[in-house]
Amino acid sequence: MTPEEASAAAGVPIRVDPRSDLGRGCAHARPEGGPERLSFMVVDGRIVRVEVGNPDILTLSGVGVSSTQAEVLATYPNRIRIEPNPYIGHLGGKDLTYMPDESSRHLSLLLTTDGQRVMSFRAGLLGAVMAPEGCA
């Protein structure tokens, strides 16, 4: 979906931040007046990843920022791979990656924890979700 299509669906303008475009066809967009700590990664004009740091926004299964690692594991039994976070792993931070079924292998959900609670999560196309620095 394009930011324009997402704007129409959400009923709020979703604008690409021109400062985030480093000239590689990748940028970040945010909803104007929308929830804080919500952004979208846009590659070649299409939204490929949603990034959430807002505790009021949950996955369809009901987990989000502030959920415990145990709650995530219970919500997605036998579907979570746990690895040290590349930036805060030395402090106990973990990446909890949802492993979808075969029909959805092109999608991903990654929740970053401080070792206890979810601090943020991102979802979308596999390659975009797994890119730790987004467009950087």
pLDDT in tens, 88-111: 999 999 999 999 999 999 999 999
Q: Answer whether 0.85 is exceeded by the pTM.
A: yes
Of the candidate ranges 9-18, 21-30, 104-113, the one whose mean pLDDT is the lowest: 21-30
- For each of the domains in the chain, give its residue range(s) and CATH number, in order of start: 3-130 (3.40.33.10)
- The per-residue pLDDT for 21 is 76
**Residue 23 pLDDT > 80:** no
Q: Residue 6: what residue type? A: A
At 4, is the secondary structure helix, strand, or coil?
A: helix
Proportion of the chain above pLDDT 90, given as a percent = 88
In angstroms, the CA 47 to CA 58 distance is 19
In angstroms, the CA 135 to CA 67 distance is 27
Proportion of the chain above pLDDT 70, given as a percent = 99
Torsion angles phi and psi, residue 20, rounded to 5: -85, -10
In angstroms, the CA 54 to CA 98 distance is 19
